[in-house]
Chain A
Amino acid sequence: MDLTAYVTFHREGELALPAIASASAARLNASLELSVELVAVLDSSDTVTREIVTSRASEFARVHLVDFQDLGAVRNFCAQESDSSFIGMLDGDDLWSRNWLSSATQLLRERGAESIVHPELVYYFHDRPTGPAAASRGFGLRHGESSSFDNNLAYILNPWTANNLAFRSLVSSVEYRKRLPQFGLGVEDWSWNLETLRLGLSHLVAPETIHFVRVKHAGSLGVANSLDGLSIHLERAPSRL
């Protein structure tokens, strides 16, 4: 298998449905050029989410029920679970442009194993209110390649979202860190981005690809991290990147 795209679920409920449909469309598009599978990983999920994902089990090559209660541990599990050349991470309440999986894999093939690929555009949309009001509040962030800005800024802001695509060998060699609220540490994707920058790996963007991110009315992980006072993990003492 060339690519395994992992869709991770927790307590998304009915929001899992559009995510599964969007991931399937991206898989279908990518399957014209490479062998690709979708795998569902449900971490400490609730009954509704479990039922919804199970009802769409035919979309997935495998469905895993795990109990890590930790996004970093889930991502590490994915890196171990796959035997594909590439792996991609998809959050179970977001959506992706149909060209995401194919374009990202193509770019990785061109640029080699020391790279991580991100969507070019992240489009944030609101899950309420509905209609034109929600539309008027949408906005985008354009990801940049790590060579295009002062990487030290990555201490102050997370330059990339967690939905990336990379060689499996890279993801298994740089582990995601667990959430450790008892030590005030967490934010696994940001910590991982910093660690990969420190290791000198390249972060690239696949042109004209889009990640649609839902701005949640409540239950956002970023806000929860902030309220819990979590800081990023650092493998060693901070230094200039």
Chain B
Amino acid sequence: MSFNFSGFASGVRTALRRFSSGYVERYPDVLNFRFPPFVHWLIYGWREKRHYFPSLIVSRKTLGVELSLIHKVNSASYPIDFENLIAELDFQANLEPMLPNSSLRDLGATPVYEAWSLTARTGISSQKITEFVGQTFSTVVVMPSVVIGGAEKYMSNLAREVSEDNPLSVLIVLTEEGGLHSDVDLPAEIKWLNECNTLYWTSSGGFPANPELLARFLRSLNTPQILVCNSDLGFQTVSRFGLGLGQSAQITPVMFSFGPPGALSYARIFARQLSSQFSILTDNSRFVRDLNVFTGSTRTISPQILPSLCESVAEASTIKPTPPQKKRSSIKWLWFSRLSWDKAPELLVEIAKRRPREEFHVYGPSGPREITDLFASVSNIHVWGPVCDLGELPLDEFSGYVFTSRFEGLPNTVLEAALSRLPLIVSDVGGIRDSLDEGHCFLIPVDGSDSEQAMSFDRCMQTLLDMDSRDLKDMVQNAFTSVHSRHSQLAFKARVKELMREKR
């Protein structure tokens, strides 16, 4: 027995060519890529969940439908007239040999399901969906879960504004396990989401992670606005079915950053496809620049910027400026952020080692144990745990706010610190420059090594401590004014109104 390698190779080439044309037809942006479509799929396509092999998908899907039917419903007691079925099968099998006749199997065991059975047809085991199907909502928000985070604050403020502060007119579809946190754990802005209608589209909630089913559900809703943020299932749904969904609702994907280089962020996976169909909403201009570089295409629909609403604005406008004090018995610095590696905790450790006589106070939701251990290894770093907002802290004790993060959209904590009139020493990342520049704070470039960055932080902290109090007061006031004008309730309302008008 011999194997014809050249014939095999030729067959593979032919198959790839055939699939390539389908791939390009389905994803025309691939034409902008300088290499063959298959190479595009190898480098980007599979990560972006694009389909290159249509025939495999067809057969898998066909089987998937059938298997889910057979295994999910017990048909033993189903009252079907099998005698009639067998008689007809025997007759029709003479016309169509692919039909079984009564000699081939025990046809009485044929599984039969109700055509309107949600579980049998879709795998959805929750009846909760029926209370929402066909209902009217002012806004539908698809997001992963409700936890403490900038994205949640942003979405909550946005939904609140769009719905004119009517939570009962809003439906929140949560697509990841974890769901809502109790009110106790959440800042007031995010608590508002807990008052909205909520559907847990999760496997434990009885829903398969199936974009087509979520699309059918969303299509059934009478809503002018569907917002999608940070949800893998949500983004998959609107990237595949958004065109049809967009016939009855405005689809708005919300994204904040592309993440660190090489990271598989939602923006990297979905932005190219979504930006050719919808105007992506973001809170910072850095994302817009990155998007333009990433898509590099004239097919992109211009994204829109809606600067976040900073919750402390209202109260902050009444706070008396508290000039930082140069001379303190003990110099304290504030680090207020989620404890995660992208916030560069190791950089804070470097800085703390350079300034051993000063104290660094860390507040924020806990993260990996390794970070806590890392901080514990340095005696002048004190970890205090989570707080809802800066207002809970003794701010006048701190000489400044240190922000070491390596990538961001537009970090809320920096805005809140500016509104609390804390002097800022922050990484020059994301969209911070939309609101703050060198006249407002110390901006540290992030392109150097850890030790170079630590040196820059160290230098700026010393400069801050040595500053003339009037200059320092001016800088802090400038930061306050800049953030206040861009992130106030008034500015947010006006911009949302403007966006809604443009979209209409």
Q: Are B111 and A139 in contact (CB under 8 A)?
A: yes
Residue of B at shortest CB range from A224?
B58
Q: Is the interface of A mostly helix, strand, loop or mixed?
A: mixed
Q: Which of A125, A153, A156 contacts B213 (CB 8 A)?
A: A156
* Cβ contacts B339-373/A at 8 Å (1 or 0 each): 00000000000000000000000000000000000
Question: Which of the 9-residue segments B188-196, B238-246, B390-398 touches chain A?
Answer: B238-246
Contact B92 A208 (CB under 8 A): no
Size of the A side of the interface (Cβ < 8 Å), in residues, is: 67
A220 touches B219 (CB 8 A): no
Contact A134 B220 (CB under 8 A): no
Interface string of B88-105 (1 = CB under 8 A from A): 110110011111100011
Tell me if A212 and B118 are in contact (CB < 8 A).
no
- Near B by CB (< 8 A), chain A positions 120-157 give 121-128, 130-132, 134-144, 148-150, 152-157
Is A159 an interface position by the 8 A CB rule?
yes
Which residue from A97, A122, A143, A150 sits with its C-beta under 8 Å from B130? A150
- Across the interface, do A121 and B245 meet the contact criterion of CB distance under 8 Å? no
A132-B105, A208-B81 known; A139 vs B246 contact (CB < 8 Å): no
Interface residues of A in 213-241 (CB under 8 A from B): 214-220, 223, 226-227, 229-232, 234, 237-241
B96 is contacted by which of A95, A154, A156 (Cβ under 8 Å)?
A95
- Which of A97, A156, A214 has a CB less than 8 Å from the CB of B124? A156
Tell me if A21 is interfacial: C-beta within 8 Å of chain B: yes
User: What is the chain A residue whose CB lies nearest that of B22?
Assistant: A227
CB–CB B219/A155 < 8 A: yes
Q: Which of A130, A157, A216 has the most CB of B within 10 A?
A: A157
Cβ-defined contact, B243 with A229, below 8 A: yes
- Using Cβ atoms and an 8 Å threshold, which residues of chain B touch A154? 116
What CA separation (Å) do A234 and B219 show in the bound complex?
Answer: 9
Interface of A with B (CB < 8 Å)?
18, 21-22, 25, 95, 97-98, 121-128, 130-132, 134-144, 148-150, 152-157, 159-160, 182-185, 208, 210, 212, 214-220, 223, 226-227, 229-232, 234, 237-241
Q: List 18 A-B contacts (CB under 8 A).
A: A18-B96, A95-B96, A123-B85, A123-B110, A135-B105, A139-B113, A141-B120, A143-B115, A148-B116, A152-B133, A155-B217, A156-B118, A183-B244, A184-B246, A184-B247, A215-B66, A217-B62, A230-B241
